[in-house]
């Protein structure tokens, strides 16, 4: 599966001038700097069409698009990610676990999306650091976990992703404003980039016995 990582480029700039980078791409991941703030009130009133535009982009490129953004629900701001597949808007995932002091509100659940390239679980922001969130989505048959982050200045996130991929037996893809990363089911980094736009192949495979071992270690009977 070919994945295009867009870490520092506006969605509309990418759409107009960098589509060649996404040729024959199966999945495009946009960082939070790509779309900005989306107001549900304005979207419902037809004043803006950000979500519809993401769906249009996915249709034009015939692929799955996951785009990070902030959502404004009548004054409640959340870190979110919208996902679309071949012209269809599948939904919006929000960050669930919020730091004690934050301007953001929490979301309500974790979603595994059925797409044309497999089942994709999306974790937003610091939800990446909640192993139970990733494990829960894998238990709900996710084939790939996508992690959306604002920006990173160390390698802690990489350590977490490698551990979660290995323990859950599922590949993971990470996008931030200054980093792109892909990790295999073996917990090995198979791709890393600091470029604004980059791409890589990710092998869609799962190792079920790893998750079973993890569940037994936690006292969960299969």
Task: Tell me how far apart the alpha carbons of residues 91 and 172 are, in angstroms, rounded to a whole number.
Answer: 20
Predicted confidence (pLDDT) per residue in 173-203, tens digit: 999 988 999 999 999 999 999 998 899 999 9
φ and ψ at residue 152, rounded to 5 degrees = -135, 150
Structure confidence by residue, pLDDT tens digits, 122-167: 999 999 999 999 999 998 999 999 999 888 888 889 999 999 999 9
- Walk me through the domains of the chain, giving residue ranges and CATH numbers: 2-217 (3.60.110.10)
**Res. 106: pLDDT tops 70:** yes
> Assign residue 80 a region: left if phi > 0, alpha if psi is -120 to 50, beta otherwise?
beta
**What percentage of the chain has pLDDT greater than the value 90?**
63
pLDDT digits (tens, 9 = 90+) for 23-81: 688 999 999 888 889 999 999 999 999 999 999 999 988 999 999 999 999 999 999 99
10 Å Cβ neighbour count for 34? Answer: 23
- Write down the pTM of the prediction: 0.89
User: Cα separation of 107 and 139, whole Å?
Assistant: 20
Report the 3 state secondary structure along 126-178: HHHHCHHHHHHHHHCCCCEEEEECCCCCCCHHHHHHHHHHHHHCCCEEEEECC
């Amino acid at each position: 599966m070919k994945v295009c990582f867009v870490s520092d480029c506006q969605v509309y700039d990418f759409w107009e001038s960098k589509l060649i980078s996404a040729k024959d791409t199966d999945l495009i991941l946009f960082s939070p700097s790509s779309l900005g703030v989306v107001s549900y009130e304005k979207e419902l009133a037809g004043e803006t069409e950000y979500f519809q535009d993401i769906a249009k982009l996915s249709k034009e490129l015939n692929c799955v698009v996951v785009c990070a953004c902030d959502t404004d629900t009548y004054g409640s701001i959340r870190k979110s990610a919208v996902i679309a597949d071949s012209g269809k808007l599948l939904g919006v995932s929000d960050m669930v676990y919020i730091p004690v002091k934050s301007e953001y509100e929490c979301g309500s659940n974790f979603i595994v999306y059925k797409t044309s390239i497999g089942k994709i679980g999306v974790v937003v922001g610091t939800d990446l650091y909640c192993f139970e969130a990733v494990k829960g989505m894998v238990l709900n048959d996710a084939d790939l976990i996508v992690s959306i982050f604002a920006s990173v200045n160390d390698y802690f996130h990489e350590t977490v992703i490698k551990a979660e991929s290995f323990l859950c037996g599922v590949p993971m893809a990470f996008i931030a404003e200054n980093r792109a990363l892909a990790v295999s089911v073996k917990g090995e980094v198979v791709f890393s980039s600091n470029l604004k736009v980059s791409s890589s192949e990710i092998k869609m495979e799962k190792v079920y016995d790893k998750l079973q071992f993890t569940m037994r270690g936690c006292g969960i009977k299969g």
